[in-house]
Structure 1
Amino acid sequence: MKKITFSLACLLIATIGSAQQDTYVPKKTNFFSDVMFGGGLGLNFGNEFTNISVSPTALKPITENFAVGLGAQFNYLKSKGYYESTSYGVNILTTFNPIEMVQLSAELEQLRVNNKIYYPATYVSNDFWNTALFLGAGYTNQNVTVGVRYNVLYKDSNLVYNQAWMPFIRVFF
């Protein structure tokens, strides 16, 4: 009887001891562990024409379907003897995937634009800030989204974009 009691006591102590052991080990991550990086790079050269565009973006998932990101932009365009433009700025991007293959987006962009328009024997300089708010929708397959966006703040006279509708391709890693 003593052996049975002793065996049951040892079993009970072992069970209580292992029940107190912490089986959940939190995953050690930092803020940047799930940030996705992407953006755009454009180079166009032609006869007396140059266009250089760089626009890196970082996107942080907040939930499984919602993400927020920041980006920077630089664009240089020159048509020798006619037009020269430099623009630079920042943007805030939010994406929402209501279903796996559909991405809705909103992007607020603030650019500083420096334009020079050349006329015979002179030029006109036009420096200004431009704000754009793009609302978009696209088809997503893994880390690539192809879609169209609309600038709700578009003005014909802003000399930045030639129309309110723009196609886009987003790739994030």
Structure 2
Amino acid sequence: MKPLRFILLGMMLLFCFTGMFAQIGVPAQHKNDFWDNVRFGGGLGIGFGNGYFSGSISPSAIYDVNPYFSVGPALQFSYQSGENFNTTLYGASLLTLFNPIRELQLSAELEQLRVNQTLELDGGNLEANFWNTALFAGAGYRTQNVTIGVRYNVLYKDGEDIYTSPWSPFVRVYF
């Protein structure tokens, strides 16, 4: 009986001391600061002209890893129509931002878009449905929550891409 008492007493003391030491150094209320480092933003676009309309929305979120580096996902939806065509684009991208100094923002963005296109021809409609991949390298001037710049699609192929040029301007806003 005595060895059983010592074992039980030893286990009780072990649990008591373990509970006491487990409380040392743990704040009363642990705060997860992940969401404090997340910023939301994106872009809106609209264009129209003689028989042409274009509208787009691209919400995104970035996580500030530190004051110099941020990373996050983005979604994109765009609709374009003209006299002889309709195009719908939708997809996602992964955005990385690097700020070596406060006013300069360098970026890399991998974008994957689904393209659904209908061309109206004399003999009927021609439909094209395909995926388009783009890899953009960009640079911009940053002031507080807004960055204005230009990006270059390094995967651009003339005549095989949904973009008319490898260069495109951008405005990014994050809050």
TM-score, length basis structure 2? 0.79
Calculate percent identity across the aligned residue pairs: 50
Give the structure 2 partner of residue 66 of structure 1: 69
Give the structure 2 partner of residue 169 of structure 1: 171
Give the structure 2 partner of residue 8 of structure 1: none
Contact kept, 8 Å, 1:71 with 1:91, in 2: the verdict is yes
Unaligned runs of 5+ in 2: 1-23
Change (3 A) 1:26 1:165: farther
Q: Which amino acid aligns with 2:157?
A: K
Between stretches 123-132 and 32-41, larger displacement belongs to 32-41
Q: CA RMSD in A?
A: 2.0
SS of the counterpart of 1:155? coil
Measure how far apart 1:40 and its partner are: 1.0
Q: Which amino acid aligns with 2:122?
A: P
Unaligned runs of 5+ in 1: 1-20
SS of the counterpart of 1:92? strand
Structure 1 residue corresponding to 2:39, chosen from 21, 36, 39: 36
How far apart, in 1, do the equivalents of 2:105 and 2:28 lie?
A: 34
Measure how far apart 1:99 and its partner are: 1.1
Contact kept, 8 Å, 1:130 with 1:158, in 2: the verdict is no
- The question of 1:127 aligning with 2:105 is answered no
Give the structure 1 partner of residue 82 of structure 2: 79
SS of the counterpart of 2:162? coil
Structure 2 residue corresponding to 1:102, chosen from 76, 100, 104: 104
How far apart, in 2, do the equivalents of 1:50 and 1:134 lie?
A: 25
Measure how far apart 1:34 and its partner are: 2.2
SS of the counterpart of 2:35? helix
SS of the counterpart of 2:31? coil
Work out the number of aligned pairs and report it. Answer: 151
TM-score, length basis structure 1? 0.80
Partner deviation per Cα, 1:42-98 (whole Å, 9 max, x = no partner): 233455432221100101101110000100000111113x11101100000000011
